[in-house]
Structure 1
Amino acid sequence: MDVADLEFQARTRSGCIPPELVSRLLERGYADVVEVQAGRGEWFCALAWARSLDERGRRTDAWEALAPYLATGWWTAVTAAAGLLEGWGRADEAIEITRIRTEAGHPMALEVYARLLARHGRAEEAFTLLRPHLGEPALAVALVEVAGPAGRDEEAVALLTARTEHRCSDFPWCCRGFDRDMAKRLLATIRERQGRTDEALALLSAGDTASLDHREERAALLARHGRLDELRAAAATDDSGSAVRRLARVLEERGDVDGAVAAYRQAGESVARRPHSAVALAQLLARHGRGDEAITVMRDQAATYKGEDWILHTLSELYLGQGRPGEGLAQLDTFATARGGEEDWDLYWIRLPLIAACHGVDEAVARARAHPEGGASYAAPHLAELLADSGRTEEAVAVLAPHAPANGHELAGYLIDLGRVEDALAVLQRPTAPPDSWGGSWHDRPPF
């Protein structure tokens, strides 16, 4: 096995069996295929197989499944192996294999190593290791996490307070992404952990109140502590929609659906200008049997944000869910006419499930093929899905096959469903660009 090749496949999901299809193989009863492929360099098969063996108590076999990958020194395999060891109560061994990579200089190893130390009674050591690397955002988050069990919260506060004085001149380059807003969020995390909630809220309210991150964090903090009156006040003035969505979620979880709906309604124009909030309201209404109201909300959004595919898709799904596909088609036609009549494929495909519900799958497929872009590779998955959902998987394969490898994952999935596993593997394991033509990521070779 070659580290660069493994990294290339893991990052691009090309030339290998991706995790969703490994799951599909297991679900369809092809565990033997996953086992064989795990021994042939298929990382996602090896990982799934090791976890499957672990769940059945076969720890030695699970370790052997990962061992060849771990032997390469590949970081992804190291973290997976460390996870197994920790789960088996062998924390010292997990710490050791991550320590080796940390000392070898792997840029991601220190964070994992420090958290492992902290989880197993060595938080002070972890804090000391992380302290010189405060300027790295991920390591700063880890430092805040380990500061509590290390008993060094105030030292972390002092370090972070100094960062709040930074004024960005060229974000993120001037501070490597660790700006004063992030420092305040981390400070707030510590103060909340200490039970000093008011101080945490003050940190998230001070300074640049336009920070969307701060608004979301502040709303979440209020929700966690049940301070609904303050959350309502925030919702009334926060035009980002963060506080409204958080308030509605809390109220729904408490069984107050009317209150959750009212939170959106009372936001009025703010929600109307924020399509994400409007979608959240529509989904809330649909979850609680108020589909007509949900459709009205999204129909207004579609009229305001003309040609936004995700809004039209949400609206069409609501019509379909309410058993009103004919009305949905008529509404999409109205919007299309207002835009000039012609629809590119990125909007046209949204109507296909509605056509199938009204007139049958054959009619939907025929109309799709008559579209100017109906023969394109990006149209094929939509046609295939229509056919497969109606039990015509062989036809779905026939639609996708001419467009492989562009639609290789979809094609392989349907081949697996049909029991044509060897054909699926042939599609997935086609040669790809050599890993050395791609930059890859940091790695080295054993011994370390």
Structure 2
Amino acid sequence: MDATDLDYRARTRSGCIPPELVSRLLEHGHIDVVELHAGRGEWFCALAWARLLGEQDRQADALEVLAPYLATGWWTAVVAVAELLEGWGRVDEAIEITRVRMEAGHPMALESYTRLLARHGRADEAFTLLLPHIGELSLGTLVDVAAAAGRDEEAAALVSARTEHRCSDFPWCCRGLDRDTAIGVLAKIRERQGRIDEAIALLRTSTMLLNNREQLAALLARHGRLDELRATAATDDSRYAVQQLARLLEERSDVEGAIAAYRQADGLVAHDPNSAFEVAQFLARHGRGNEAIDVMRLQADIRNGDDWILHALSELYLGQGRPEDGLAHLDALAAARGGEEYWDLYWIRLPLIAARDGVDEAIAQARCHPESATWYAALHLAELLVGAGRTEEAVAVLRPHAPANRHDLAGYLIDLGRIEEAVAVLHQDRPRPPQPSATAWSDEPPF
């Protein structure tokens, strides 16, 4: 095994059995297949099999399964083994394998090692280890370890020094630890110390960073500061405060109040499709599906080429049992565009046709589209067929397009019990990771 190859295949989900299909194999009872491929370089099979062995109290066998992966030095395998050992109560061993990688200079090992120490009564030691590396690692790690060590004030002093920094060349001048980020971290410490007013005041000085706006809104909601949250929602042009206000009111069973909060942000909802989608989902969740349709229909009229908006609208029409109205709306938009639709918009109507006229009619109409023979159209046709319990036909639709549709095709083959075929499909595309170039630059893509 090679760490670079393992990492490339795990990150790209290519040439391997991905985790969602490993889960599918296990759900269908194919434990023997997972065990077999765990010993054939299939990382996600090995991890799942090791976890199962651990649950059966066969820890030695589990470690033996992962040993070849761990021997490559691949960091993902190190983390996985450490997590298993920790979960089994073998904390000293988990700490040791992480320490070895840290001392070898692995860039991610210090944070993992210190967090592990902090979780098991050695937080003071972990905090001391982190101190020389301020500026090289995430402030979040320092702050979390400081909490376990009872050294919040020391951490606050270190973070406060960063709040004076004025960026001259973000992020290079400060490794991303700019003033606004430091303020957000310091506010987290103050909230943890129970100094809520101070945390709020800090975040109010740093509203340029969207993360801090979100943090402020969440903080106000967590502490039930309803009036302050209302005031923030009235002046905040992002959707965070309105969203938190509506959620807080919903948790308090004040559905009408939550809807009113959204309604008061009509300008935001009209101009921000993400906010409109949240409103629509909220309305649908509380039995007001027709109002939800009105909200998304307005967005579809404003942005009639945005496929995700049309998809959300169509889902709402389906949920309300109104497929014919959904199709009428899509037909009107298509007519406004000259009657032609690319597949990325056309496919949205297929579930509506299926709901109104049946799957066969939806498939027949789809076959008339100029892009119906493409790999991406095949995905949607297969989904319709599977939804109707016609998985064999879905496989026949996807088969000519492998390996482009390999994960979907393999998943359906697993459902049919055709495991060897499924694995063969997944291994059709088994790329090697890009090799480092001898030149300083390359015009080849990194994937």
Q: Please state which band the TM-score falls in when normalised by the shorter chain.
A: over 0.9
Counterpart contact for 1:240–1:274, Cα < 8 Å: no
Relative distance call for 1:436 and 1:336 in structure 2 (3 A) is: closer
Mean CA deviation greater in 426-435 or 7-16: 426-435
Distance apart, 1:327 and its partner CA: 0.6
Counterpart contact for 1:188–1:201, Cα < 8 Å: yes
Q: Hey, what does 1:260 align to over in structure 2? A: 258
Q: Matched residues in 1 for 2:409 and 2:58: separation?
A: 33
Counterpart contact for 1:39–1:46, Cα < 8 Å: yes
SS for the counterpart of 2:325 is helix
Counterpart contact for 1:384–1:396, Cα < 8 Å: yes
- For the pair 1:174 / 2:195, whether they are aligned, the reply is no
Distance apart, 1:341 and its partner CA: 2.3
Counterpart contact for 1:136–1:178, Cα < 8 Å: no
- For the pair 1:89 / 2:89, whether they are aligned, the reply is yes
SS for the counterpart of 1:397 is helix
Mean CA deviation greater in 34-43 or 298-307: 298-307
Q: Matched residues in 2 for 1:390 and 1:213: separation?
A: 44
**Count of residue correspondences:** 437
Q: Hey, what does 1:128 align to over in structure 2? A: 128
Q: Which amino acid aligns with 1:269?
A: G
The structure 1 residue matched to 2:323, chosen from 314, 322, 325, is: 325
Distance apart, 1:62 and its partner CA: 2.3
Counterpart contact for 2:15–2:429, Cα < 8 Å: yes
Counterpart contact for 1:283–1:294, Cα < 8 Å: yes
Stretches of structure 1 lacking an aligned partner (at least 5 in a row)? 440-448
The structure 1 residue matched to 2:279, chosen from 257, 278, 281, is: 281
Distance apart, 1:211 and its partner CA: 2.0
Matches within 5 A, 1:162-311: 162-207=161-206, 209-311=207-309
- For the pair 1:12 / 2:12, whether they are aligned, the reply is yes
Counterpart contact for 1:377–1:403, Cα < 8 Å: yes
Q: Deviations over 1:101-148 (max 9, x none)?
A: 01111111111101001111111111122122221352x210011112
Distance apart, 1:332 and its partner CA: 1.1
Counterpart contact for 1:271–1:277, Cα < 8 Å: yes
Q: Matched residues in 1 for 2:179 and 2:402: separation?
A: 48
Q: Deviations over 1:315-372 (max 9, x none)?
A: 0000001111011000111122223321111111111100111111111112222111
Q: Matched residues in 1 for 2:122 and 2:335: separation?
A: 66
Mean CA deviation greater in 363-372 or 170-179: 170-179
Q: Matched residues in 1 for 2:408 and 2:175: separation?
A: 38
Q: Deviations over 1:425-444 (max 9, x none)?
A: 001123523225379xxxxx
Distance apart, 1:165 and its partner CA: 2.1
SS for the counterpart of 1:210 is coil
Q: Matched residues in 2 for 1:438 and 1:407: separation?
A: 29
Mean CA deviation greater in 237-246 or 69-78: 69-78
Q: Hey, what does 2:59 align to over in structure 1? A: 59
Q: Matched residues in 1 for 2:245 and 2:188: separation?
A: 20
Distance apart, 1:31 and its partner CA: 0.9
What's the Cα RMSD here? 1.4
Counterpart contact for 2:2–2:72, Cα < 8 Å: yes
Q: Hey, what does 2:113 align to over in structure 1? A: 113
Stretches of structure 2 lacking an aligned partner (at least 5 in a row)? 438-447
Q: Matched residues in 2 for 1:183 and 1:268: separation?
A: 33
Q: Matched residues in 2 for 1:229 and 1:416: separation?
A: 54
Q: Hey, what does 1:158 align to over in structure 2? A: 157
Q: Hey, what does 1:444 align to over in structure 2? A: none
TM-score (norm 1): 0.94
Q: Matched residues in 2 for 1:337 and 1:242: separation?
A: 37
Q: Deviations over 1:190-218 (max 9, x none)?
A: 000110011111111104x2321111000
Distance apart, 1:60 and its partner CA: 2.7
Matches within 5 A, 1:300-379: 300-379=298-377
TM-score (norm 2): 0.95
* Structure having greater relative contact order (Cα 8 Å, sep ≥ 6): 1
Counterpart contact for 1:137–1:178, Cα < 8 Å: no
Q: Matched residues in 1 for 2:80 and 2:356: separation?
A: 49
Q: Which amino acid aligns with 1:206?
A: T
Q: Matched residues in 2 for 1:100 and 1:337: separation?
A: 66
Q: Matched residues in 1 for 2:68 and 2:432: separation?
A: 21
Q: Hey, what does 2:381 align to over in structure 1? A: 383
